A and B are shown apart, each in its own frame.
Chain A
Amino acid sequence: MIPQEEFRKLNRVLIWGKGQTAEETATRLTLLGYEVLKINPDEQFQLLSIEGFAGDFQVTLQQTIPSLEKEGGMEMLERIWTEKFGAVVFAPELVSEGNFSDYQVAPTEKIITLEEMQKVLIPGLDEFHQGNHSFSALPTPASAGGRRIFAALKPASYVAFLVGLTTEGNVLDMAVTLSAALEIRKRFQSQISIFCRQVKVAGEGLERLYQACRDEGVLFFKFDQEGPALLRRGDEVVLQFEDTILKRPFILTPDLLVFDSRHLLSSEVRQTALSAGIGMDKSGFLQSANVHFLPQASEREGIFIAGPGKGPMLSQLSIEEARATALSVHHFFQGLTSETMNQEVSVDKGLCTLCLTCLRFCPHQAVGFTHRVFIHPLACRRCGICASECPMDAIQIEGYSDNEVEEKLMALQERGDKPEFSQPRIVVFGCQRSAGVAWEGAESSKLKAQSNLEFIPLPCAGKLDPDHVLKALSVGADGILVLACPEENCRSVHGNTYARERIMEIRKYMEEAGVNPGRIRFEHLSSNMEWYLKEIIKQFSETLEELSNPQSAIRNPKWKNGPH
């Protein structure tokens, strides 16, 4: 437990990002009375590390400035410094890069990206971002790119958009595509086709925009997997495909081809996220795909994620994100009082041997050390992974301590003396977030009243302790059932996978001792799966009965009234 005097709450927030989400979050937080520092993650500024804990982070920043003073070339001036913040908000924008390689084409006069099109066609970009998807200003062929595009957009030309064919696609690209298509159609009477897998319209006004495109005669071609083949014929690019609905081959020669781009986190932001212990999803955007995380939450308390860094989003949504983030940060600071400090996790300083296993395994970076290890009360989410990893049993979690678990196991042994036992004795270790709820729900079916079952709740499956499992078996349990949340669904990120890994370790211990490893079973279970819980217990009881011949079952003398 961190000493009271070491607990600090700094009223400063670092916003690491740019664009409207970062700006709006900064404005809102300033209005709420916080001291805000907003830094753009770019070549000049880098965030090197976030040490410390919620309320009291030490953020190391680096600034690289090109100096013009030196003759014969630029000298880079570098400054690295550490500042303290109570909370950090990640609000980066995405960078876009041409997707030509995915489509296996090279950019030419007639092939451009959606971004290029957007820049030329939508001078009132800000207005567009504010949710106005129609164009008030006339498009201007001001730039070189603009002239090129306008040259192609002669009356009655043919324009093809290829969007979301190499990736899942997103609402933002679809919004730009639909707006641009409608505009070109109206102003130049061009023929327009949109080639895509899905028309993504999950945003305000997009369904209407799509309908307007249809009404104006924009054609949509839907593909399941592969988009049209792109063939080169002189300087023409030819689209060849069979329409999935008409089952008819088409060969089209557009005057202008518009491709969507890849949207990515910049490498600086990715690097920062990795070093700060902030996860990314499978598409490489910020925030791990975890249903237990609130929209702006991260693995670490006090670090928030907002805006398009989580994936391309419409400007309206990113503004809403900013407002929600500001409120989350405010709520977080209001919650930081000594009363709310978690007192449920304790480290026995006499036992702790500073092996740092807890620090290495904590998914929330809540462990620190001075002369002994401490668990930061605000950063800790009480998963108990540290407690089950501790080689000295020095970390205990109130309600789930070794003593409390062993008491329950002893009670099971006492109950074993009763003669009415006729079924295999099963000890169920289950995450209280999923299995615990399912267990409560199964109460109506008298599952709880079955005296051969003992449910031992865990704060997270990551708290599963091999020692408790072996103790349960050695006091006479016939089988052990371990229930964890579904894969990639653990609130503490790795708790369920750690539990599964430990099952493998426990099976080895059991085999060595001559106990059939089939006596332990591991299952993923969500809270609404009572029926499955009942089914598992039924199946497992049958398995255990088959296993229970006098050679394999542990015969504890106290349990001589058992069924076998």
Chain B
Amino acid sequence: MIIASRKPFAEIKKSIELYENILVVGCGTCVAVCLAGGKKEVGLLASQLRMSFALDKKKIQISEETLERQCDHEFLETIREPLKEFDCLLSLACGAGVQFLAETYPGKKVFPGVNTSFIGVAEAAGLWTERCRACGDCLLAITGGICPRTLCVKGLNNGPCGGMIDGKCEVDPERPCAWVSIYERLAEEGRVNQIEIMFPPTDFRFQTKPGRVTHRAYLRRYNAGSK
């Protein structure tokens, strides 16, 4: 899941203070799950802005709306009519949602309310950690289900490096070395010989921007290959 966290309030306020009729748009999927941009966060941010502008004696109208997802046309369409009265949209979706909202409503000023952080997991209530860099060339089959490109600070394809001390990382002595974790996992599973497989340098052709994926069942419809 995509993990995001709210931008500093001062930055948000500064970005929108020129406008008079603002809609805070939440997203009910990833950012709601990571408690950054769901209905509750929309309400909190809207109340904060109302208070702050009232103290500045500014007459700015703040309204609230939360969509199921901002990364789907169909959900974005549901606010086409009410959107006419707003001159500024403050989206609490991930970067993808913000852009799709802006793309769907040309002419509306769209601003982000969160910083999109990474693809990660919920380790516990209120704690998320990164697991995937979306490199487009997954090597988890060989590395015992542990991604060195994400979990190694240096993103090394082969390791551990010379900076490993007692199984910990030289960058952060609290953090286990990803390559040691990979070795231990493979050893536990009786396939430690896999550690000897040398990975060539990362093939960045898989990461050309912008990414594009076409499901093979739809190749003909979009008249193109996936890359």
Give the B-binding residues of A (Cβ under 8 A): 351, 353-357, 360-361, 390-393, 466-467, 470-471, 473-474, 509-510, 512-515, 551-552, 554-556
Contacts and interface: CB of A to CB of B under 8 A. Distances in A.
Nearest to B10: A512
B118 to A, nearest CB: 17
A509 B40 CA distance: 13
Contacts of B48: 470, 509, 512-513
A392 B69 CA distance: 13
A509 B44 CA distance: 8
Interface centre among B33, B51, B57 (most CB of A within 10 A): B51
A393 to B, nearest CB: 5
Contact of B40 (A360, A393, A512, A554): A393
A310 B175 CA distance: 41
17 contacts: A353-B33, A353-B38, A355-B34, A360-B124, A361-B125, A391-B35, A391-B39, A392-B32, A467-B40, A467-B43, A467-B44, A470-B43, A473-B47, A474-B51, A512-B9, A514-B52, A514-B55
B176 interface: no
B52 A391 contact: no
A500 to B, nearest CB: 16
B28 interface: yes
A189 to B, nearest CB: 65
Contacts, number: 84
B125 A357 contact: yes
B41 A513 contact: no
Given A353-B28, A474-B51, A513-B55, A393 B44 contact: no
Nearest to B30: A353
Contacts of B10: 512
Interface string B13-43: 0000000000000001100111100111101
Contacts of A354: 33
Nearest to B53: A513
Which one of B35, B39, B41, B66 has the greatest number of beta carbons of chain A within 10 Å? B39
Contacts of A351: 28, 39
B79 interface: no
Contact of B32 (A361, A391, A510, A555): A391
A452 B46 CA distance: 25
Nearest to B52: A513
Contacts of B34: 355
Contacts of B43: 393, 467, 470-471
A561 B41 CA distance: 32
Interface size class of B (residues with CB under 8 A): 20 to 34
B51 to A, nearest CB: 4
Contact of B33 (A355, A555, A556): A355
Q: State the majority secondary structure of interface residues on B.
A: helix
Contacts of B28: 351, 353, 392
Contacts of A361: 125
B6 to A, nearest CB: 10
Nearest to B47: A470
A470 B38 contact: no
A509 B41 CA distance: 11
Interface in B141-187: none
B54 interface: yes
B71 to A, nearest CB: 14
Contacts of A552: 55
Contacts of B57: 555
A355 to B, nearest CB: 4
B50 interface: yes
A470 B47 CA distance: 6
A408 to B, nearest CB: 16
B39 A393 contact: yes
Given A355-B33, A470-B47, A470-B48, A390 B55 contact: no
A512 B32 CA distance: 22
Contacts of A514: 51-52, 55-56
Given A353-B28, A470-B47, A391 B33 contact: yes
Contacts of A393: 39-40, 43
Contact of A353 (B32, B50, B124): B32
Most buried by A among B10, B57, B125: B125
Contacts of A474: 47, 50-51, 54
B78 to A, nearest CB: 13
A557 to B, nearest CB: 8
A556 to B, nearest CB: 6
A356 B35 CA distance: 11
A471 B44 CA distance: 8
Given A353-B32, A360-B124, A360-B125, A473 B51 contact: yes
A391 B122 CA distance: 15
Contacts of B49: 513
A391 B56 CA distance: 29
A512 B7 CA distance: 12
A459 B61 CA distance: 33
Given A353-B29, A470-B44, A509-B44, A391 B38 contact: yes
A361 B32 CA distance: 16
B40 to A, nearest CB: 5
A554 B44 contact: no
Nearest to B29: A353
B158 to A, nearest CB: 37
Interface in B36-90: 38-41, 43-44, 47-52, 54-57, 66
Contacts of B41: 391
A467 B47 CA distance: 8
Nearest to A552: B55
Contacts of B9: 509, 512-513
B46 to A, nearest CB: 8
B51 A515 contact: yes
A466 B45 CA distance: 11
B35 A556 contact: no
Which 10 pairs, one residue from A and one from B, show the smallest C-beta to C-beta distance? A470-B47, A391-B38, A512-B9, A355-B33, A360-B125, A513-B52, A467-B43, A513-B48, A474-B50, A513-B51
